[in-house]
Amino acid sequence: MNSANGFFVHSQAICESEDIGRDTRIWAFAHILPGARLGSECNVCDHVFIENDVQIGHRVTLKCGVQLWDGITIEDDVFIGPNATFTNDPFPRSKVYPQEFARTVIRKGASLGANCTVLPGLTIGTNAMVGAGAVVTRSVPANAIVVGNPAKIVGYVDARPVCHEQITAAGKVAAQTETMVKGVTLHTMNKFADLRGSLSVGNFGHAIPFKPVRYFMVYDVPTEEIRGEHAHRVCHQFLVAVKGLVHVVADDGIHRQEFILDKPTQGVYLPAMTWGIQYRYSPDAILMVFASHHYDATDYIRDYDEFRILTECAGNGRP
């Protein structure tokens, strides 16, 4: 039952499209409508249904029970788990959710867990992971891991969160500590406490490795919010959680690491060309950021894929 066109269709499957790539396999009880386009080396399992206005890249796996509706794009190397469900409209026939009727896009390398649900018009970012059973109601950034109903970010791929203490040598509080991410350092400021209260001091140019031209404070952040998700071309920053707790993800394009800031005497330094994310703010968190340059909109890189290309060109993180 080898197709003449280089792809395989099970005898009990119905494939009405001719636009199927080499070595793609279509299994029993699957049904593909004529307009659908599939790349090469895909695997379409039993009981899958694919409508017409659907574009699928190379090396995509569609496990059993998945349906792809008009208006869905799947990029290369995506995995869609069994019974993962896409939607045309979260509340059919209504306009409850605000998103406009854009295409649903699953970016390169993303994985969707078994039995998850994806609302219409969302984008699942590059390499992002959707947990089994998650109900995705907002677009998912690159590398993010989401779980739950509604789905929330619980981490980033390949970045296990570490406390300050876990990274410094046991029993030794260093003023400055290297991390796995190029140029990113953790810092401990002096603290003086007496009956009148506590006092923490940081000298610019010393404990904080540059002289800032401005500060900004971030506060009143809902716990489920993510901030950052960008890199700076020339600006460098120093972050202190003066109250509460914040998770900071730093990424040099090669390595990624997540730091938990939870003491007013701890800071993290982010050099230029570091992709930075802050999230998991505690309800009372206040994040103080010292910045080396004035605000400049052109200094921001907001697309992770562009950031990766720039760091590759710069040989970032390479010996």
Residues annotated as catalytic (active site), given as ranges: 230
- The Cα 88–Cα 102 span in angstroms is 10
Residue 306 burial by CB count (10 A; 0-12/13-18/19+): exposed, middle or buried? exposed
Among 6, 28, 234, 314, the residue binding a copy of itself under the rule CB under 8 A is: 28
DSSP calls for 103-118: PEEE-TT-EE-TT-EE
* Closest of 276, 282, 274, 267 to residue 229, by C-alpha: 276
Binding mask 197-236 for a copy of itself (x = CB under 8 A): xxxxxxxxx-----xxxxxxxxxxxx--xxx---------
Asked if residues 43 and 26 have their Cβ atoms less than 8 Å apart, the reply is no
Choices 35-43, 107-115, 251-259, 299-307 (CB under 8 A): range interacting with a copy of itself:
107-115
Site membership for a copy of itself, residue 193 (CB under 8 A): yes
Q: Which two tokens stand for residue 186?
A: 């953790």
Minimum CB separation from a copy of itself for residue 63, in Å? 8
Choices 1-9, 45-53, 165-173, 297-305 (CB under 8 A): range interacting with a copy of itself:
45-53
Beta bridge partners of 53: none
Choices 35-43, 108-116, 167-175, 302-310 (CB under 8 A): range interacting with a copy of itself:
108-116
Site membership for a copy of itself, residue 195 (CB under 8 A): yes
Is residue 158 within a helix (H) or strand (E), and if so which, with residue range?
none
Minimum CB separation from a copy of itself for residue 248, in Å? 15
- The Cα 148–Cα 66 span in angstroms is 20
- The Cα 85–Cα 67 span in angstroms is 7
Site membership for a copy of itself, residue 102 (CB under 8 A): no
Site membership for a copy of itself, residue 85 (CB under 8 A): yes
Site membership for a copy of itself, residue 57 (CB under 8 A): no
Q: Which residues from 127-156 bind a copy of itself, rule CB under 8 A?
A: 129-135, 145, 147-150, 155
